[in-house]
Amino acid sequence: MALHTQQSLSGFIASDPQESVTENGDTRFHARVGQPHFRHEYSGSFTVLEPTFHDLVAYRATAERALTRFVKGDSFVAEGYVRTFQVEHDGETAQREEFVAKKIGHDLARTNYQVDRTHRDVSKTARDTEVEHEAAHTGSRR
């Protein structure tokens, strides 16, 4: 089976996250996010450049969780896709884009946190399931 990949975005939450509701009644998370940029110098060092700013949205359960977990300044990693759309302002039509996060979490390299596993069945880990799946498809056990 082919490896499934999606676009990713990492950066920091640059604005206070906003909650809204779509026409369908779904929860929507919106935040302006910043992406740091660096220039690699001939000496091997890096020069910090100005960040760029973009719109990030999430919907439904992902939005509800993001609204309770993210605040301005948090570093994140998200998986999803870029959506381009048109907006009209003062009679002018312009194209905008936003990153639609299907999955989002704090950036492990830049965030200290604790994981709560109380909701998980500890008798069967993801690794156990992987080994069982592999054995079923290869006819062998580890």
In the prediction, which pLDDT does 110 show?
A: 93
Q: Indicate the number of domains in the chain.
A: 1
- Nearby residues of 36 by Cβ (< 8 Å), 6 or more positions away: 11, 12, 48, 49, 51
Q: Is residue 101 part of a domain?
A: yes
93 within domain boundaries: yes
- Asked if residue 65 belongs to a domain, the reply is yes
State residue 115's pLDDT score: 87
Domain that holds residue 88: 7-113
Alpha helices (H) in the chain, listed in sequence order: 60-69, 126-138
Structure confidence at residue 120 (pLDDT): 77
Concatenating the DSSP letter of every residue in 73-90 gives T-EEEEEEEEEEEEEEET
Residue 124 within any structural domain of the chain: no
Sequence-separated (6 or more) residues with CB below 8 Å from residue 113: 106
Residues of the chain with pLDDT under 70: 122-142
Report how far Cα 4 is from the mean position of its chain's Cα atoms.
Answer: 16
Give the CATH number of the domain where residue 46 resides: 2.40.50.140
Predicted pLDDT of residue 25: 97
What are all long-range contacts of 114-123, with beta carbons under 8 Å and residues at least 24 apart?
Answer: none
